[in-house]
Amino acid sequence: MLEALNPQPQDKILQLIQMYKDDPRDNKIDLGVGVYKDATGLTPVMRAVKAAEKKLWETEKTKTYTGLAGEPAYNVAMVKMILGDGYADRAASVATPGGTGAIRQALELIKLASPTATVWLSNPTWPNHPSIIKYLGMNMAEYRYFDAATRGIDFAGLIEDLGRVKAGDAVLLHGCCHNPTGANLNADQWAEVAKLLLAKGAIPFVDLAYQGFGDGLEADAASTRLIAETFPEVLIAASCSKNFGIYRERTGILIALGEASRRAITQGNLNFLNRQNYSFPPDHGARLVTMILEDDTLRADWKAELEEVRLNMLTLRQSLADELRRATNSDRFDFVATHRGMFSRLGLTEAQVNILREQHGIYMVGDSRINIAGLNAKTVPILAKAIAQLAA
């Protein structure tokens, strides 16, 4: 049987990690993989996570199974963090293995309810979105998103494309910190998109993987909250990988908002999907998140550290934009300072990306997405100079 399998295409980012590992140069710079790193290149365990782990080790009495939807307290705390109060009667939810698990379960829920629905994705988007949709055999369409000339949003193109959405289609929206571009809709644009999609009868599907990495924990939830208030039905797939720094613990949640009278049936279907795919969701990361969100001291410390992380990335953005201004004697790269989140798409050609890697040991994804957190005060001017040389 196994001989019938064909080789899978290599994941480009994982390939890049390997190339970086194999590069013997001391001065190489990794701007590829999407994890936060501090100035020393470490992806630290956050202080509140360590403290919660210690407390958990001391107090945990059993590791018997949790519920199919996860521990109810986790779901309550996450719905509150993402949406605020007032959703208890409309929100069905399940804990999932990471944000990816939530996306997968959301897509399976769409398929279960409406097998012929089309799922709309921004062009570009996180490559795992189309990959999972294709694997599930679902219909998919793209809407314009990124303007390669300005490195901002192609809003006219986006509105034109979303004008073709049919009633019952699902439209995937990055709640904040768009991956891979770093370009985000402003509040007025979000309102216009919401108005259009509501008129079309679409189901918004929000991917919220970076809450707290853009403009702040509350500010980054604003667009998701607007969507939740506006639409009768909404799916939200959220990840705790980045904002709690617990990547490998696989901690996420899928929230399905709908009519209160349908909540129990929706919840039953979410539980069913968990049961089919992996039975009980992982608990360790979810439990740490719950402990942190429920404890005033831990929560305050976590928020403070998350804010340090966010401000560190903003400082790096501003200094990279400043250095690029100096090095290129132009404002062509000012967009780096206005982008938000961990990534910016620089708008370089694949050939230029290859030159940066081969000649300078600077590693970024082929579409010229850089991980801002891969930089530090020392490497910012090195990157700026190398980019300026390309343009010269």
User: Interface with ligand PMP by CB under 6 A: which residues?
Assistant: 34, 98-100, 126, 174, 179, 207, 209, 239, 241, 247, 252
Minimum gap (Å) between residue 358 Cβ and ligand PMP: 26
Of the candidates 30, 154, 169, 207, the residue annotated as catalytic is 207
> If DSSP states are collapsed to H, E and C, what string results for the chain?
CHHHCCCCCCCHHHHHHHHHHHCCCCCCEECCCCCCCCCCCCCCCCHHHHHHHHHHHHHCCCCCCCCCCCCHHHHHHHHHHHHCCCCCCCEEEEEECHHHHHHHHHHHHHHHHCCCCEEEEEECCCCHHHHHHHHCCCEEEEEECEECCCCEECHHHHHHHHCCCCCCCEEEEECCCCCCCCCCCCHHHHHHHHHHHHHHCCEEEEEECCCCCCCCCCHHHHHHHHHHHHCCCEEEEEECCCCCCCHHHCCEEEEEECCHHHHHHHHHHHHHHHHHHCCCCCCHHHHHHHHHHHCHHHHHHHHHHHHHHHHHHHHHHHHHHHHHHHHHCCCCCCHHHHCCCCEEECCCCHHHHHHHHHHHCEECCCCCEEEHHHCCCCHHHHHHHHHHHHHC
* CB of 101 or CB of 347, closer to ligand PMP: 101
Minimum gap (Å) between residue 177 Cβ and ligand PMP: 8
Minimum gap (Å) between residue 380 Cβ and ligand PMP: 23
With a CB cutoff of 8 Å and minimum separation 6, the contacts of 45 are: 245
* CB of 207 or CB of 283, closer to ligand PMP: 207
What's the Cα-to-Cα distance from 330 to each of 72, 150, 317, 327, 381, rounded to whole Å?
53, 14, 16, 8, 15
Of the candidates 30, 242, 286, 367, the residue annotated as catalytic is 242
Minimum gap (Å) between residue 364 Cβ and ligand PMP: 15
* CB of 258 or CB of 282, closer to ligand PMP: 282
Annotation marks residue 61 as catalytic? no
Annotation marks residue 126 as catalytic? yes
Minimum gap (Å) between residue 97 Cβ and ligand PMP: 7
Minimum gap (Å) between residue 35 Cβ and ligand PMP: 9
Annotation marks residue 209 as catalytic? yes
Annotation marks residue 57 as catalytic? no
Minimum gap (Å) between residue 99 Cβ and ligand PMP: 3
* CB of 118 or CB of 239, closer to ligand PMP: 239
- What the block records as the tokens of 337 is 């300072």
Which residues are registered as beta bridge partners of 252? 96, 239
* CB of 30 or CB of 323, closer to ligand PMP: 30
* CB of 210 or CB of 335, closer to ligand PMP: 210
Nearest residue (beta carbon) to ligand PMP: 98
* CB of 126 or CB of 363, closer to ligand PMP: 126
Of the candidates 120, 126, 190, 302, the residue annotated as catalytic is 126
Give catalytic residue positions. Answer: 126, 207, 209, 242
